[in-house]
């Protein structure tokens, strides 16, 4: 196996994928309707899933074909193996790129959280920026803390959403310097808001799990289709390598001069 041919095929696949991704973004933004944002977002999601599958299949097909051509041998098996190797290199580099990007984004987010937490009671401004039942509950708990220096509403809200009422009352009592019974009574007055926050948190978790499952299925289908496309591309490329290098074979008629 010629790994120079594999790398060259991978570069071709990367170029084709980049070209198709840019074209997909152009089509998506061109079809977006600001007056029907909900419908456009749903169509954009479905179109993105289909376009990702098509992009991976087309890019790896051409990558496997060009790898077989760069290899220069009329060997179907080796052509398919070159295509599969191009697919493996593409998946590995994509996973590495995603891992590095995810680690960088998480590192930056952690740095911002540390900067806000180092001020001795400074609250993260994004913690209560979102509108919803959880944000309202967080604001009410912050009001109960009455701006205590060491008070933090996030652990209390998390305990309440997780149905750990005793833990939440204990945390509130420790932060406010009151008894746990008094803290439990204060939390009891927020029962409707706590129930709304729990329902919202459950809905958000279900929706997140649904979208995550869809993303994983799209990644699996696109990778599997790309594997087949890369193997077929390498096989076809090796079968027709003589057309690239003009190594055509002609049948000789009986009795004709050779």
The per-residue pLDDT string of the chain (258 residues; one tens digit each, 9 = 90 and over) reads 889 999 999 999 999 999 999 998 888 777 776 676 666 666 677 888 899 999 999 999 999 999 999 988 888 899 999 999 999 999 999 989 888 887 776 665 544 444 343 333 434 433 333 458 888 888 888 777 775 545 578 888 888 888 888 888 888 888 777 788 888 888 888 888 888 888 888 898 898 999 899 889 999 999 999 999 999 999 999 888 877 776 555 455 666 555
Residues 6 or more apart in contact with residue 14 via CB below 8 angstroms: 59, 63, 90
Distance between CA atoms of 19 and 16, rounded to whole angstroms?
5
Q: Are residues 152 and 90 in the same domain?
A: no
Which domain, by its residues, includes 46? 3-117+216-245
What is this structure's pTM? 0.69
**Is 144 found in the same domain as 69?**
no
Q: Is residue 251 situated within a structural domain?
A: no
Which of 90, 24, 25, 22 lies closest to 233 in space, CA to CA? 90
Residue 253 lies in a domain: no
Report pLDDT for 1. Answer: 81
Buried b (16+ CB within 10 A) or exposed e, 225-243: bbbebbbbbbbbbbeebee
Q: Does some domain include residue 224? A: yes
Q: 102 and 8 share a domain?
A: yes
Are 112 and 23 in a shared domain? yes
Same domain for 113 and 144, yes or no, is no
Q: What is the DSSP letter of 178?
A: S
Shared-domain flag, residues 113 and 7 = yes
pLDDT of residue 151: 58
Please identify which residue in the block is written with the tokens 């003589």: 242
**CA angle at residue 138 from 137 to 141, to 5 degrees?**
85
Asked if residue 209 lies in contact with residue 174, where contact means CB atoms within 8 angstroms, the answer is no
Closest CA to 227 of 91, 78, 48: 91
Residue 210 domain-assigned (yes or no): no
In a domain, 72, yes or no: yes
How many domains does one find in the chain? Answer: 2
In a domain, 181, yes or no: yes
Chain-centre distance for alpha carbon 185: 43
Render pLDDT for 120-129 as a digit per residue (tens, 0 to 9).
Answer: 343 443 333 3
Judge whether 60 lies within some domain. Answer: yes
Residues 77, 156, single domain; the answer is no
Residue in this structure with the two tokens 């406010």, named with its chain if needed: 176
State the pLDDT at residue 49.
87
Q: List, in order, residues 6 or more apart from 132 with CB less than 8 Å away.
A: 200
What would the two tokens of residue 130 be? Answer: 């979102």
Residues 174 and 220 in one domain: no
> Cβ(7)–Cβ(63) under 8 Å?
no
Tell me: do 15 and 102 sit in the same domain: yes
Instruction: Let me know whether 104 and 160 are in one domain.
Output: no
CB 13 within 8 A of CB 59: yes
Q: Residues 196, 110: one domain?
A: no
Question: Are both 15 and 87 inside the same structural domain?
Answer: yes
End-to-end CA distance of the chain: 35
């Amino acid at each position: 196996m010629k790994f120079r041919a594999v790398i060259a095929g991978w570069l071709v696949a990367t170029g084709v994928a980049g070209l198709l991704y840019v074209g997909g973004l152009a089509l998506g933004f061109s079809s977006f309707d600001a007056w029907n944002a909900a419908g456009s977002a749903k169509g954009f999601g479905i179109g993105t899933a289909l376009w990702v599958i098509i992009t991976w299949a087309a890019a790896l097909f051409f990558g496997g074909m060009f790898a077989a051509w760069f290899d220069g041998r009329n060997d179907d098996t080796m052509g398919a193996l070159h295509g599969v190797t191009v697919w493996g290199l593409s998946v590995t580099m994509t996973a590495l790129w995603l891992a590095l990007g995810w680690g960088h984004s998480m590192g930056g987010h952690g740095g911002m959280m540390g900067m806000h937490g180092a001020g001795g009671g400074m609250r993260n401004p994004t913690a209560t920026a979102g509108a919803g039942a959880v944000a309202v509950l967080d604001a009410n708990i912050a009001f109960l803390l009455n701006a205590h220096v060491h008070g933090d509403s996030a652990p209390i809200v998390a305990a309440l959403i997780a149905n750990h009422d005793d833990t939440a009352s204990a945390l509130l009592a420790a932060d406010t310097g009151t008894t746990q019974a008094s803290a439990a009574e204060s939390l009891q007055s927020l029962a409707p808001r706590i129930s709304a926050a729990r329902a919202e948190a459950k809905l958000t978790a279900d929706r997140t799990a649904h979208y995550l499952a869809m993303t994983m299925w799209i990644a699996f289908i696109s990778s599997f289709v790309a594997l087949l496309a890369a193997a077929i591309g390498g096989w076809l490329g090796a079968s027709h390598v003589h057309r690239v290098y003009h190594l055509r074979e002609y049948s000789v008629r009986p009795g004709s001069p050779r």
